[in-house]
């Protein structure tokens, strides 16, 4: 009964703070302080200062602002234009035509961004007007873009994987590598959906198809070389053990600056805007992480996470049933919170359960990110939907309905990851062997 009361207390106060419009980080600090003052005899001020400093000074977190800055720099380049020009000749003859540019373009930009919203915005600012000009159906255009944009959270370098790794103290490099195969799998599932949809709805698809000679295809593919080189240098350096995640992030920033310089988009104004954008985003994330660490400490002092883990164990839930329950829980939570907040708010309680159930924390990180991805396209708080609404000038309900089939496909992807955990674990194991 005391544990139940504690749980209700923490959740009720947190919901009250969040519902009042108070920042997520401030809400977590407030709940933690109240919980410690009421239920423990520990000095709140000393505990808060020590915990927040310990979290904020983590060297691992250095990778986060660097990857965010890299995405901000690339967002202001001609990358979206280059992606469309380079991919269009290869995609035009496939069933579904240039809609595939949305999926492949998002997958490629995800590999140098780490942000779902940035991925949607970058690819969408070129593909939406181009595909509309060619009379592609709005439902397929916006649905594929909304769904594919979620790959920004999974395909490394992923900001949310950095946060998860710091929170549960797992290797960020392993998490990055673990996200590659599931990310590619989801992209292929989305492409298959586009193919099937276009074959079923042939009358709605444009009748013409642009033809490109092999020479034209090769010529246009040169537009993709800078992107591919940047992806290869960042991810390849991590996989081969040449660089840590932080060092790879530094390499990525240098590569992004060089790319923007040669594209003539690097000037004083864009440099300033990218730096300010990265600073704001990084400060927001760091603030949330600090609040999360204090909340974890407060809950630890009350004994709630340990007792909840024991309670879950006594319920004798099968590991798979626990995972299904958590999937539903995160989908519901994601309807009201962004992905980062959902992860940091819950890991203090969820982590002991997962470890107790015997799941690999690297695998669970990938599972969690894919589930959180779904939240990006579910109303009322679906960030990708908001981004698209502003770009496409369409009703939120229409965009959400367009993205719903891809939401279902992501549930399928989750079950594939559950049934075949090697999808997430095989590549990190190979990386360890290569380094060894």
Tokens at 236, concatenated: 């390849």
Q: Which domain holds residue 333?
A: 2-435
What is the count of structural domains for the chain? 1
Can you give the length of the chain in residues?
Answer: 436
Within the chain, how many helices (H) and strands (E) appear?
Answer: 22, 0
Work out the percent of the chain whose per-residue pLDDT is above 90. 17
What residues have CB less than 8 Å from 44, skipping those under 6 apart?
33, 36, 37
> Which run of H or E residues covers position 153?
none
Report how far residue 75's alpha carbon sits from residue 73's, in angstroms, rounded to the nearest whole number. 5
Compare 366 and 38 and report the one with higher pLDDT: 366
Report how far residue 199's alpha carbon sits from residue 252's, in angstroms, rounded to the nearest whole number. 40
38-64 pLDDT, tens digit per residue, is 777 777 787 777 777 776 666 667 777
- CB contact at 8 A, 323 and 272: no
Report how far residue 201's alpha carbon sits from residue 141's, in angstroms, rounded to the nearest whole number. 13
Model confidence, pTM = 0.79
Give the range among 91-95, 126-130, 165-169, 288-292 with minimum mean pLDDT: 288-292
Helix (H, G, I), strand (E, B) or coil at 23: coil
Work out the percent of the chain whose per-residue pLDDT is above 70. 87
Mean pLDDT for all residues in the chain? 82
DSSP of 194-259: HHHHHHHTGGGS-S------HHHHHHHHGGGHHHHHHHHHHHHHHHTTSS-HHHHHHHHHHHHHHH
Sign of CA dihedral 25, 307, 339, 425: positive
Q: How far apart are the first and last CA of the chain?
A: 50
Helix (H, G, I), strand (E, B) or coil at 156: coil
């Amino acid at each position: 009964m005391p544990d139940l009361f504690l749980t209700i207390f923490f959740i009720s106060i947190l919901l009250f703070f969040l519902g009042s419009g108070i920042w997520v980080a401030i809400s977590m600090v407030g709940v933690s302080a109240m919980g410690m003052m009421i239920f423990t005899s520990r000095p709140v001020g000393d505990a808060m200062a020590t915990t927040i400093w310990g979290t904020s000074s983590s060297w691992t977190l250095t990778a986060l602002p660097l990857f965010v800055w890299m995405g901000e720099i690339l967002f202001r380049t001609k990358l979206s234009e280059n992606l469309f020009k380079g991919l269009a000749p290869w995609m035009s003859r496939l069933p579904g035509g240039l809609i595939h540019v949305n999926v492949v373009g998002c997958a490629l930009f995800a590999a140098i961004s780490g942000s779902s919203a940035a991925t949607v915005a970058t690819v969408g600012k070129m593909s939406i007007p181009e595909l509309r000009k060619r009379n592609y159906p709005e439902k397929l255009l916006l649905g594929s873009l909304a769904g594919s944009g979620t790959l920004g959270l999974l395909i490394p370098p992923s900001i949310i994987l950095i946060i998860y790794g710091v929170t549960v103290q797992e290797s960020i490099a392993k998490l990055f590598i673990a996200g590659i195969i599931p990310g590619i799998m989801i992209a292929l599932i989305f492409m298959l959906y586009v193919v099937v949809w276009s074959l079923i709805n042939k009358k709605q698809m444009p009748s013409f198809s642009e033809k490109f000679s092999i020479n034209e295809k090769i010529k246009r593919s040169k537009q993709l070389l800078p992107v591919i080189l940047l992806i290869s240098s960042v991810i390849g350096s991590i996989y081969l053990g040449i660089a840590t995640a932080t060092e790879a992030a530094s390499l990525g920033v240098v590569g992004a600056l060089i790319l923007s310089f040669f594209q003539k988009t690097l000037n004083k104004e864009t440099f300033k805007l990218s730096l300010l954008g990265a600073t704001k985003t990084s400060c927001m994330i760091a603030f949330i992480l600090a609040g999360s660490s204090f909340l974890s400490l407060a809950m630890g002092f009350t004994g709630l996470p340990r007792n909840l883990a024991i309670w879950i164990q006594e319920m004798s839930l099968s590991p798979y049933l626990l995972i299904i329950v958590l999937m539903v829980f995160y989908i519901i939570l994601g309807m009201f919170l962004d992905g980062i907040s959902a992860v940091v708010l819950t890991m203090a309680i969820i982590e002991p359960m997962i470890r107790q159930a015997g799941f690999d924390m690297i695998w669970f990180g990938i599972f969690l990110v894919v589930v959180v991805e779904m939240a990006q396209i579910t109303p009322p708080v679906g960030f990708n939907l908001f981004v698209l609404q502003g770009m496409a000038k369409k009703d939120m309900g229409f965009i959400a309905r367009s993205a719903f089939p891809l939401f279902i496909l992501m549930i399928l992807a989750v079950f594939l990851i559950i049934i075949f955990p090697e999808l997430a674990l095989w590549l990190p194991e190979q990386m360890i062997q290569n380094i060894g």
